[in-house]
Amino acid sequence: MRILALETSCDETAAAIVEEGTHVLGSVIASSREVFARAGGVIPEEAARMQVTCIHPVLDQVFSQAGITEKDIDLLAVTRGPGLLGSLLVGTTTARMLASLWKKPLLGIHHTLGHLSSPWLSCTETPRFPLLTLSASGGHTELWYRTDHLHGEILGSTRDDAAGEAFDKGASLLGLPYPGGPSLARAAEQGDPHAFPFPLPLAGDSTLDFSFSGLKTALKYTLRDLGTDGAAPERKADLAASYQHALCRHLIQRITQALARCPDAQEVHLVGGVSANQHLRSLVQDVCDGRTLRTPLRLEFCTDNAAMIAAAAFFASREQQEKPGLPFTTAASLPSSAALSPA
Ligand code: KG4
Ligand code: ZN
């Protein structure tokens, strides 16, 4: 089965063609990152305007990469939410129009189900359920225990900021460019992760929830106390490394606790933009206790992309055994708990 998927939930315009949920024939991601780097963040109306102009060239490019035509497509899929409404509508309106023009079925996919499916892309072995997934991006942070693609539960989620948001806000406090995650990780390479002892959030809490806002405040007060010293390059590197380490320690502690509660988990998956973080990857490896650790095989599959939406659509249509083409709504806010349910 060949699926053409579109993903336009934030500032990217992405299209992909994926065969059997894993084999990526083409994947194109047009990002307006440079434009928003100057603004220091995404401007929703501007993002949607750019997506309107990008979507057709991106579609042309993905078909030429894959070397096929629309006649070879069996199913269309599109991110239906959550995300920026104007941006989502560019993707869903285009997908609805193409599905009707080409007389193909169309599936609306929850953005988080896309991230959860990303480790299957280009993967030659089949991951084994049950498995534990940390899904951490700019909009959400959750620990999932799943027994198959569409069955499972959220063990814990963030009470305030998302992990990616904590990277972004920390980078901004340190005067590092947008997007904050990669620039903070780069600055941290030269620093000492133990130079500043930031606290472990929710240390005595018995849930598997996350909280990142206290760390951001701790960084703010540390910078205030350092005064002009905080701006020196070596101090900045130490601050970035210590802050990154504190965010990762919190994530790792929750993964360790979740594995103790779910000892039958065969694998640990890291997905979402934050899974691109190398420091996090190396720390998670140490707590997997012999289990397979999987991250998306290409860095572009960690952050938002359309191939993960195609993978999710493939497994959803296979496991639901429903005729694709169910009506769906486009929704800016959708709870993560709805990720495994049909539209
Ligand atoms: O999944 P994603 O592309 O978009 C959302 O669904 O939000 O995640 C974007 C987030 C941003 O907050 C970005 O700063 C973070 O992922 N991110 C990283 C890294 N690369 C991207 N955070 C830490 N280290 C990275 N290398
Ligand atoms: Zn995402």
What tens-digit pLDDT sequence spans the chain (343 residues)?
999 999 999 989 999 999 999 999 999 999 877 777 777 778 888 889 999 999 999 999 999 999 999 999 999 999 999 999 999 999 999 999 999 999 999 999 999 999 999 999 999 999 999 999 999 999 999 999 999 999 999 999 999 999 999 999 999 999 998 889 999 999 999 999 999 999 999 999 999 999 999 999 999 999 999 988 877 888 999 999 999 999 999 999 999 999 999 999 999 999 999 999 999 999 999 999 999 999 999 999 999 999 999 999 999 999 876 666 778 999 999 999 999 986 6
The tokens describing 199, both together, are 């606290």
Vertex 154, ends 153 and 158: CA angle to 5°?
A: 175
Instruction: Please state whether beta strands 267-271 and 131-136 pair in parallel, antiparallel, or not at all (unpaired).
Output: parallel
Atom of ligand 1 lying closest to residue 137 CA = 8
DSSP class per residue in 15-36: EEEEETTTEEEEEEEEE-HHHH
The tokens describing 342, both together, are 């049909």
Residue 82 CA, ligand 2 centroid: distance in Å:
9
- Mutate which of 167, 212, 269 for ligand 1? The one with the most ligand atoms within 8 Å of its CB, which is 167
Atom of ligand 1 lying closest to residue 115 CA = 1
Residue 7 CA, ligand 2 centroid: distance in Å:
10
The DSSP 8-state label assigned to residue 252 in this structure reads H
Mapping DSSP to helix (H, G, I), strand (E, B) and coil, where does residue 271 land? Answer: strand
Is 167 near ligand 1, meaning CB less than 6 Å away? yes
What's the pLDDT score for residue 319? 85
Is 170 near ligand 1, meaning CB less than 6 Å away? no
Ligand 1, atom 14: closest residue by C-alpha: 181
Residue 275 CA, ligand 2 centroid: distance in Å:
11
Is 304 near ligand 1, meaning CB less than 6 Å away? yes
Is the separation of the CB atoms in 23 and 74 below 8 Å?
no
- Spatial separation of the C-alpha atoms in residues 219 and 178, rounded to whole Å: 18
Is 114 near ligand 1, meaning CB less than 6 Å away? no
- Tally helices (H) and strands (E) across the chain: 10, 10
What's the pLDDT score for residue 309? 98
Residue 97 CA, ligand 1 centroid: distance in Å:
31
- Spatial separation of the C-alpha atoms in residues 15 and 220, rounded to whole Å: 39
Question: 210 - beta bridge partners?
Answer: 158
Residue with the two structure tokens 């904590």: 166
Mapping DSSP to helix (H, G, I), strand (E, B) and coil, where does residue 131 land? Answer: strand
Atom of ligand 1 lying closest to residue 244 CA = 23
- Spatial separation of the C-alpha atoms in residues 164 and 139, rounded to whole Å: 7
Is the separation of the CB atoms in 322 and 341 below 8 Å?
no
What's the pLDDT score for residue 3? 98
- Spatial separation of the C-alpha atoms in residues 179 and 184, rounded to whole Å: 9
The bound ligand whose nearest atom lies closest to the alpha carbon of 41 is 1
Pick the closest to residue 273 from 177, 146, 179, 169 (CA basis).
179
Query: pTM for the full model?
Result: 0.95
Is the separation of the CB atoms in 274 and 164 below 8 Å?
yes
CB pairs under 8 A, 24+ apart, for 337-340?
337/154, 338/110, 339/110, 339/112, 339/113, 339/116, 340/110, 340/113, 340/146, 340/149, 340/150, 340/151, 340/152
Element (H, E) at 49: helix 44-66
* Count of all residues that appear for the chain in the document: 343
Q: Which amino acid is at 33?
A: R
Which residues line ion ligand 2, judged by CB < 5 Å?
A: 137, 304
What's the pLDDT score for residue 40? 72
Is the separation of the CB atoms in 308 and 110 below 8 Å?
no
Residue 247 CA, ligand 2 centroid: distance in Å:
19
What's the pLDDT score for residue 324? 66
